[in-house]
Every structure is written in C-alpha cells, then in structure tokens.
Structure 1
Amino acid sequence: MAVEGRERARELEAGAQVLSGQLGKTIQRLRKAYSLSLSELAEQSGVAKSIISQIERNETNPTLATIWRLSQALDISIERVLATVDEEPFIEKSSKPDTPILVSDDGRMRLAIIGWIKTVEWLQWYDVTSQPGGVLESDAHQRGSVECLSVLEGEFEVEISGVVQTARTGETLRYRCDRPHTVRCVGDAPGRATMVCILKAAVME
C-alpha cells in the first residue's frame, strides 16, 4: 500500500508539472501576442512581475485567483487559459447517470455535482433543486472560502450565524461559507439554483 501511495503521488506530481508548464507557455504566448512586457502585464493584472515570470518558467503553481487576474488582463476566459491543448477544441460530456447527486437530510433538496474534477480543490459547483421547505445544513468549509447561490427559480434564503438573507429568481447571494450555514427553499413553489463554492485555495494567496 505504501508503494502504491508513493507511485500515485509521483503520478499526481508529474501531472501537475505538465499542466503548470502548459499554463506558463499559454500566459507567455498571450502576453507576447499583446506585445506586453512583464511589467505591463503585472500592472494590468495586479499580479507581481516576479510571480508572472515564475509562472512562465514553470517554477510555481499559481492559485485560481492569480490565473483569473491574468486571464482578465489578457482578455481571455479562464477556461481557455486552463485548456491543456491550445491548438485543439476541448469538449467533455458527462452523462446524467454519471453525475453524482447529494441529498439533504430531509430528502427535499438535491444537489447535482456538475463541477469539473480537475478544479475540485479550487472550485465546486452544483445544480440545486428543491421542494418547498427543503433545508440544506452545511458544516464550515476551509477558512476564507466563499459560496455563491444564484436563484434560477423560486426563492431561497441563507442563514449564517443568525443572519438571514433571501434571494428570488434572478438574484444571487454571496457569503462566507467557512462557518456553519443553512440554505432553505422558502415559499410555496419548488426552487432551483446554481451553487458555486470558491475554496480557500482560490480566494487566498
């Protein structure tokens, strides 16, 4: 078991190095395409020149927040920056039976895990459906984590440390989820929402 564990760790490390190297090449290619110096990209993105240089040389693994800032400065989607092969289109499909489902303790709220496994340590997102009165009680996530609940149908409320806020169709609640929190589907109609959890690894340097 110990040998298998070491082999798996080496495989993960090698995979991370490949992704990091491709990311650095992508950042450098885009920067040069816009005729930007390291200093100019640093000024536009808010990312230190030294960090950008390390990323391009494959000497560091940047956080999602850093990648997002660079993608904004380079006017490209973060998905494109993270693409493993720049020259080829990327399309991945998950079938309905392969999509994991979480169910609240009361059985009235269901969360389909639609997030990408490659970003699970940074970003998690779910398709939430609920019967009226459904309640989802969650433990605290890592310190510094933030959750976003965008209501597509119905009405939801979020309670944290005794503070309650409500959102209806078309509205979004953003809140710290590094403490116990509760999501409820309120009103007489079923509800649907998209829930995105941005973990510490993404929101903190």
Structure 2
Amino acid sequence: MAVKERGNTLETGAQVITGQLGKTIQRLRKAYNLSLSDLAEQSGVAKSIISQIERNETNPTLATVWRLSQALDMTVERVLASSDDAPFVEKLTRADTPILLSEDGLVRLSIIGWIKTVEWLQYYDMDAAPGGELDSDGHQRGSVECLTVLKGTLEVEVGGVIETVKEGETVRYRCDRRHVIRNRTDAPARAFMVCLLKAAVLE
C-alpha cells in the first residue's frame, strides 16, 4: 500500500471503504447471476483480485473500482455508496473516513462529503505525495471542479491547459473532460477538492 509511512490510520481508513465495496460488489455480482470468472472477463480485473475485494483483503485502486462499476452497469458513486440509512447527525473519525487511492498509489482522496450526495456534489481531502498523479476521465457535461491548495504546490491540466496552483490559491475548471492533477515537486501537497456534477451547461 502506498504512503505506509503515514501509519495505521491510512490503512484502517482504507479498510472501511474496502468493507463496504466488497459487500456491494458481491451483492451486485450475484444479482446479475455472474460468477467470479464472468465478472473478471467483463471487467478485465483478475478473478483473484475480485475475490480479495469481496473478502475485504485488499484496497483496490480507483481504476479497478471504475472497471468493476462499468461491468456491473453502475456508476462508481453508486457502487461506493452505502445502502444503510445515514443518521441525521453523523460523525466520522479519521480512521472511519473512506479513502480512495490513485492508480499510482501516490494520491489519496479522503471522502469527507456525504456519500448520498456524490451524484451531484463530491468533496475530498486530497494528499499527493511527490510525483503523485490523479488522472480522471470527464464527468457529466457541465461539471465543474474547484481545487484549493492547503499545502505545497499542485499542477492541474485540463484540455491541454496547465495551471500551477500554490498554497492558498484556488483553481476552478471544467471536469467534464479528462483532467489531471499532479504533484511535480519534491514535497507533499494537500488540497481540498469539490466537484459539482452537472452544475451548468457550459458552451
């Protein structure tokens, strides 16, 4: 697992989302009457990896979650959403906060938004280790992302345009196309990221 030096908190938090995800993947797979081999063939994810996810023995990358969600004809957000009714007042400790990792394992997204609003509003606490890259496909047309850097420096690339964002600065950009956030520095970076899905139809 990436950034192990940050201690058991990351590993514990990662297990929270893995536990929810494993149950959901297994439930959806059985609902579609798919075997592990069937889902592996349709998703391109190894059968052994799917089995480990369902048994809560691994923390999948964002790319793996996306491939499984596509094979199950579900959005990533719905796959990650918990089926339990949330209480009116909900408090999550740092260890309880669900975590996603980038494909390279160097960018960590802590999901601090309410899981039931993820289809139109998402917000994250992002930690990017040196050299980390979060490469995302476009969301729905009109979606906008806002990134505020709290520590360090990040680079945002959207549609061939590259913007450097330093500590204390905010950049807003269309995220209905491929967008990449990188940490090209030798120091860790931290940011607060909000994604408004279908916020407006931008011409």
**TM-score between both structures, scaled by the size of structure 1:** 0.53
Tell me the residue number matched to 1:161: 159
Secondary structure in 1 aligned to 2:125? strand
**C-alpha separation in 2, matches of 1:203 and 1:112:** 26
**C-alpha separation in 2, matches of 1:179 and 1:198:** 14
1:111 to 97, 109, 118: 109
Q: How many residues align?
A: 116
Tell me the residue number matched to 2:170: 172
- % of aligned pairs identical? 63
Secondary structure in 2 aligned to 1:195? strand
Q: Which has the larger radius of gyration?
A: 1
**C-alpha separation in 2, matches of 1:179 and 1:120:** 18
**C-alpha separation in 1, matches of 2:148 and 2:119:** 21
Task: After TM superposition, give the deviation of residue 203 of structure 1 in Å.
Answer: 3.4
Tell me the residue number matched to 2:120: 122
Once superposed, what is the RMSD of the aligned Cα atoms? 1.9
**C-alpha separation in 2, matches of 1:135 and 1:92:** 31
Unaligned runs of 5+ in 1: 6-89
Secondary structure in 2 aligned to 1:97? helix
**C-alpha separation in 2, matches of 1:147 and 1:126:** 11
| CA displacement 1:21-57 (0-9 Å, x = unmatched) | xxxxxxxxxxxxxxxxxxxxxxxxxxxxxxxxxxxxx
Q: Which has the higher helix share?
A: 1
Tell me the residue number matched to 1:92: 90
| CA displacement 1:125-184 (0-9 Å, x = unmatched) | 000001111100001100000001100000001111211001100001100000011000
1:132 to 130, 139, 153: 130
Unaligned runs of 5+ in 2: 1-26, 32-87
Which letter does structure 1 place at the counterpart of 2:121?
A: L
Secondary structure in 1 aligned to 2:183? strand
Q: Which 4+ residue blocks in structure 1 deviate beyond 4 angstroms?
A: none
1:196 to 161, 180, 194: 194
Q: How does 1:136-147 map to 2 (within 5 A)?
A: 136-147=134-145
